[in-house]
A and B are shown apart, each in its own frame.
Chain A
Amino acid sequence: MKKEKVSILEHGLVPKHEIMGAEEIKELLDKYKIKREQLPKIKLSDPVIKEIKADAGDVVKIRRQSRTAGKALFYRLVIE
């Protein structure tokens, strides 16, 4: 039997990750008055990062389902 490869992005427990545009990143950094390096990090070797083909230096927006807040946004800087 051939094994079918399923994209992890479709798994119910994997939150939505999307690569942010330059404009959007600037807005985010301005909002929190921070530099890029002050964002939380995510490794390039992270399975989702590999899957969405983000590069080091990209910022990803993560939409999570939260038990307390309903929907929560999180941002991470991709690093090596």
Chain B
Amino acid sequence: MRTKRIKGIKFGLLSPKEIRKMSASKIITADTYGEDGFPIEMGLVNQRIGVIDPGLRCKTCGGRMGECPGHFGHIELAAPVIHIGYAKLIYKMLSATCRECGSVLLEDAYFLFSVSDTELEHDLKREIISEKWHKEFGDNGFPLSTNASITKEKNDEWTITDKELFIIRKEAGKLNVYDAGEKGRFLNDIELGKGKQPGVGEAVKRMFKEAAKHTVCSHCGDHLFDFAADARLENILNKGEDVISKELRRQFATEGHALSKNPSIKKETDNKWLITDKDKRYIVKKRNGKLTVDCGTPQRVIKFDKPSTYIEIDEKERKRRLMPSDVRERLEKIPDEDIALFGMDPKSARPEWMILTVLPVPPVTARPSITLESGQRSEDDLTHKLVDIIRINHRFMDNRAAGAPQLIIEDLWELLQYHISTYLDNEIAGIPPARHRSGRPLKTMTQRLKGKEGRFRGSLSGKRVNYSARTVISPAPDIDIDEVGVPEAIAKELTVNVNVTERNIDLLKETVRRGNEHPGANYVRRADGKKVKITETNYETLAEELDIGWKVERHLRDRDIVLFNRQPSLHRMSIMAHYVRVMPGKTFRLNPTVCPPYNADYDGDEMNLHVLQTEEARAEAKILMAVQHNIISPRFGRPIIGGIHDHVSSLFLLTYGETKFDREETLEILKGIDIDDLREPAGTFTFRSEVSGLRFEDSHLTSHISHLTPYWTGKQIFSMILPAGLNLQFQGKVGGVTIRDGNLETGVIDEIAVGSFKGKIIDRIVRQYGEEAAKKFINDLARLATNYILRAGFSFGISDEDIPREGEQQIREETMREAEHKVDELIRAYEAEELEALPGRTVEETLELRIMETLGRARDEAGSIAERYLGIENAGVLMAKSGARGSLLNLTQMAACVGQQSVRGERIKRGYRGRTLPHFKPADRSAKAHGFVRPSFKEGLSPTEYFFHAVGGREALVDTAVRTSQSGYFQRRLINALLDLEVKEDETVRETRDTIVQFKYGEDGVDPSACEYGKVVDIDEIIKDVMAGTGA
């Protein structure tokens, strides 16, 4: 296939001529529908500009509703009106052009010298700056450098770019050399800026700024006389104001332009001066070493009175309003050559087209009316606005025809301007928005396009999707990890399209017969393509009629495959394929183990569900997007799905020490897990005393135990969900873990073993036994953990952080007192100038560091004192040690000491002069004055401590807010850059044109999700494996 590349896009303005040409109808009536119920001719809902009523035909193209795309109409405006979107640009153009001739107020190109020589011309045609040309330029006083370059602009015109910009034109057989002047230089900058950054816009901006500086037009004035320049004269001119020397006077007088008593001199730009003498304006310019004098048209200051008024202020500070018609006249005068200076092309955008004289009326199809239930018609906001415009337009014309006073005409003009401005944009600063009768602001042109719900972001970049649902999520630990619980109400709304074949016709007949009752259907599509809704009245007959070749849109059912997604979709695990499980309730249910890949929790998160509609999509989803396929994250090559929170706590409890369970309990813990037979019990209870030795006693358990009752240990129970033959050894959070032949022999199951992001056991099962086995393991693990923690019970509260009085006392009276004493000692040493600076630090920095260190150590010490009183039986410690949730630091802060609060890694020092809060004396360097929080959270914080804690906490909050937005944007840019790179069969990475980006994917061709820790082979593991197989 031939591919074409878009070279550029050109934007232009609609000219009045074009607007009339594309118009299918002139609109003169503000009414829409007549009494007969048909659209009125030449009205706003006009049969020539599109049809929205069924049954009618378009009078322009003959199409019916849906076929006719609609056609534009037009309104002839009674008076010109400013297009509000261009108001600012119009102001800039007015300020930059001459009020007389319309030329841009910049210096034109001016003649330097001329030559006639065929050889020189030949060189030009070959675009070479020959020796001869160098000589010519040099002789005329414009030596060119060796860097000078030549370009052909058009026939018989060339430019030479050096430090200066020269234009060479072939005119009347001669080659005339011009200096490009300000205009030429800006034109060149604009031309060079095309397709670049900052480009045209920046150059045009500079041009406007420069042009507006000029107060006299040098284009439409006459050239008066020249005189030789010398440094003295220049100096006089530069001194400016009111210093007109005799010499200068004499020069003027001899040329017949005698100056009056006190003319003023002003420097306008480099090498350009302005002499104002009564009503005369002389422009003195330095050119080719001469001073030339021109007279020019004085310009007036134009003020832009937002949103759409222009006021001209004359020399005597008199103000005059420029009506849109005046503005239009001025813009019309701007010559075509100068329009390029605005960055516009005069063929497709003349400035005067920014003043509206005729208004295009969008087709009715772009502003359809809606029929309410009451049969009343409700028109679109745009139609309402157009009605207003037409009404005022009429009133304007009537009043003018009747010869109404100027004041009334101006008022109506203003009103017309208001309506057209709000029609284009209803959110202009300084204009009250046009409102609907109900008081709601109208949604007009700009509002349709702008913002999140506008045409671009709302309808083009993002659209609403069919066959999708969204609701709150909640946990369901009893469903499989690759399932999703779908509320019945949603299952009845979402449908799957099924073709009726001879193999499923009976089943589908049954489905249709059920009608709108759950596993039923909503629609059938007959063989001829007609879609029929299944209702309570027709389901019987439709079920009867159902035939091969029909299609049925049946309800979502158990085991249907769907895509499940949570935003932001940052990695591929954000969208995975799940199997449906229709459930009562109103929320989507998902197994808590799949929360990490989605980054979901249940504090009100909502998720989306998409029903797949084709067999190909279903197959692809099943193979590529299934949950089990995404257990290992390609991001870090480890499981991202695994036990979380209570799963970890539970399995830790179960496997910690020698927990024993009788048959009944064992079965209860293994409830819901597919295990054929229990393994051999570990033994029988022998002494009653053994029961009391249980770590987590259970009174119900002790009552029926006799010495013959067999028991299973927690480790054994956990082993029952491990695949047979699994050998694994690793370092857990509390000691080594050994699994031999599918038996947990030693060690405790913790986060490292089964947790998400770590999950050594899961990792191994995926690699050795496959995804399916891993899925089963995670399912079993979640059930086992839930069952056990339900039995064992697990709670945590404030009182769990109680430590005995002596502990508290020790922290307060020993650790803290000691630390504070040390800090005081450091401060004393500092003040006595005895403190020795650390290498590369000032003494002050050293003091701060030492204080931080001392207090940090004090907090840790307090923590370890508290820890002595809190053993593993403490739920908080258990969670921290097993990795289920929280850390020992959290516990320390709750039980012993919150510690130093910091901002940017330093003690808090901001606040008042010399102190953080008025509660402290200035220059107090003590621990408590700079954010050290002595007590624990449980003890409670004093007001100043609370404040410091909030100061420190805010930093964390701001950091996360900034980080998420920044990394989000980085991610987006990265994705857009790498979007269509692909790894090909030969392991090269290529982009769409098959251009190579990498010769081997990632230099080594390794898929991180298929190897251990980025290594292609894990030798240690293989050796361990071999040893386990042959040795023991």
Asked if chains A and B come from one complex, the reply is: yes
B999 within 8 A of A: yes
Cross-interface CB contact of A40 among B996, B1006, B1014, cutoff 8 Å: B996
As a 0/1 sequence over residues 988 to 1008 of chain B, the CB contacts with chain A under 8 angstroms (1 = contact) are: 100001111101101111100
B986 lies within 8 A of chain A by Cβ: yes
The bracket for how many chain B residues form the interface is 10 to 19
B1004: which of A37, A68, A75 is its contact (CB, 8 Å)? A68
Interface SS of chain B: loop
**A7 is an interface residue with CB less than 8 A from chain B:** no
Q: In which size bucket is the chain A interface?
A: 10 to 19
Residue of B nearest to A40 (CB): B996
Closest to B997 in A: A40
Complex Cα gap A36–B566 (Å): 44
Would you give the shortest CB distance from B1016 to chain A, in whole angstroms? 9
**Cβ-defined contact, B986 with A69, below 8 A:** no
- Choose one: B988, B1002, B1004, B1006; the contact of A32 (CB below 8 Å): B988
Residue of A38, A72, A73, A75 touching B994 (CB-CB under 8 A): A38
Chain B residue, CB-CB nearest to A72 = B1003
Determine the chain B residues whose CB is within 8 A of the CB of A69 once the complex forms: 1000, 1002-1005
Contact between chains at B1014 and A32 (CB < 8 Å):
no
- CB distance B1002 to A75 under 8 Å? no
A29-71 contact mask (Cβ, 8 Å, vs B): 1 or 0: 0001010011110000000000000000000000010101100
**Whole-angstrom CA separation of A62 from B1005 in the bound complex:** 18
Residues of chain A with a CB closer than 8 A to B997's CB: 40
Which of B986, B993, B996, B1004 is in CB contact (< 8 Å) with A66?
A: B1004
A34 and B988 alpha carbons, distance in the complex (Å)? 12
Does B995 lie within 8 Å of A68, measured CB to CB? no
Query: B994 to chain A: which residues have CB within 8 Å?
Result: 34, 38
Q: Which residues of B lie under 8 Å from residue A38 when comparing CB positions?
A: 993-996
B interface with A by C-beta (< 8 Å): 986, 988, 993-997, 999-1000, 1002-1006, 1014
Count: A-B pairs, CB below 8 Å: 35
Residue pair A34, B1003 in contact (C-beta under 8 Å): no
Given A32-B986, A32-B988, answer yes or no on A68-B996 (Cβ-Cβ < 8 Å): no
Is B993 in contact with A74, judged by CB distance below 8 angstroms?
no
13 further contact pairs, Cβ within 8 A, besides A32-B986, A66-B1003, A68-B1014:
A32-B988, A32-B999, A34-B994, A34-B996, A38-B994, A38-B996, A39-B996, A40-B995, A68-B1002, A68-B1006, A69-B1000, A69-B1003, A75-B999
Neighbouring A residues of B988 by C-beta, 8 Å: 32
**How distant is the Cα of A47 from the Cα of B795 in the complex, in angstroms?**
66
Separation in Å of the B999 CB from the closest CB of chain A? Answer: 6
CB distance from B485 to the nearest CB of A (A): 42
User: What is the minimal beta-carbon distance from B317 to any residue of chain A, in angstroms?
Assistant: 59
Shortest distance between the CB of B636 and any CB in chain A (Å) = 14
Distance of B1010 from chain A, by nearest CB (Å): 14
Tell me the nearest residue of chain A to B988, going by C-beta. Answer: A32
CB-defined contacts of A37 to chain B, threshold 8 Å: 995
Residues of A within 8 A of B1003 (CB): 64, 66, 68-69, 72
How distant is the Cα of A66 from the Cα of B1001 in the complex, in angstroms? 12
A50 to B36, CA, bound (A): 84
User: Which partner residue on chain A sits nearest B1014 by CB separation?
Assistant: A68
Q: Name the CB-closest residue of B to A64.
A: B1003
Residues of A within 8 A of B996 (CB): 32, 34, 38-40
**Chain B proximity mask over A2-30: 1 for CB below 8 Å, otherwise 0:** 00000000000000000000000000000
Which residues does chain B contribute within 8 Å of A66, judged by CB atoms? 1003-1004
**B995 partner residues in chain A, CB cutoff 8 A:** 37-40
B1002: chain A residues at CB < 8 Å are 68-69
A74 near B999: Cβ-Cβ < 8 Å: yes
| Bound Cα distance A42, B373 (Å) | 68
Least CB distance from B1013 to A in Å reads: 11
Q: Distance (Å) between the CB of A61 and the closest chain B CB?
A: 11
Measured between beta carbons, the chain B residues less than 8 angstroms from A39 are 995-996
Taken together as a complex, chains A and B put the C-alpha atoms of A66 and B999 apart, in Å, by 13
Q: In this complex, what residue of B is CB-closest to A71?
A: B1003
List the 10 closest A-B pairs by CB distance, nearest first.
A69-B1004, A72-B1003, A68-B1004, A69-B1003, A66-B1003, A38-B995, A38-B994, A68-B1003, A38-B996, A40-B996
* Alpha-carbon distance between A73 and B1003 when the two chains are bound, in angstroms: 8
Which B residues are in CB contact (< 8 Å) with A74?
Answer: 999
Taking the nearest CB of chain B, how far is it from the CB of A31, in angstroms?
8
CB distance from B269 to the nearest CB of A (A): 38
In the complex, how many angstroms separate the beta carbon of A50 from the nearest chain B beta carbon? 21
Minimum CB–CB distance from A15 to chain B (whole Å) comes to 12
Closest to A74 in B: B999
Separation of A53 and B986 alpha carbons in the complex (Å): 32
Interface centre among B993, B996, B1005, B1006 (most CB of A within 10 A): B996
Q: Write out the residue numbers on chain A whose beta carbons fall within 8 Å of the beta carbon of B1014.
A: 68
CA distance A75 to B996 in the complex (A): 10
- Residues of chain B within 8 A (CB-CB) of A32 are 986, 988, 996, 999
In the bound assembly, the distance between CA atoms of A67 and B1000 in angstroms comes to: 14
Hey, which chain B residues are within 8 Å of A72, CB to CB? 1000, 1003-1004
Whole-angstrom distance between the alpha carbons of A74 and B1000 in the complex?
A: 9
CA distance A23 to B409 in the complex (A): 86
Cβ contacts under 8 Å, B1006 to chain A? 68
- The smallest beta-carbon distance between A64 and chain B, in angstroms, is 8
Nearest Cβ in chain A — how far from B1017, in angstroms? 13
Nearest Cβ in chain B — how far from A70, in angstroms?
A: 8
Q: Give A39 to B993 CA distance when docked, in angstroms.
A: 11
Contact A73 B999 (CB under 8 A): yes
Chain B nearest CB: distance from A24 CB in Å? 14
> Closest approach, in angstroms, between the C-beta of A79 and any C-beta of chain B?
13
CA distance A27 to B1002 in the complex (A): 23
Q: How far is the CA of A39 from the CA of B995 in the complex (A)?
A: 6
Complex formed: what's the CA distance from A32 to B984 in Å?
Answer: 11
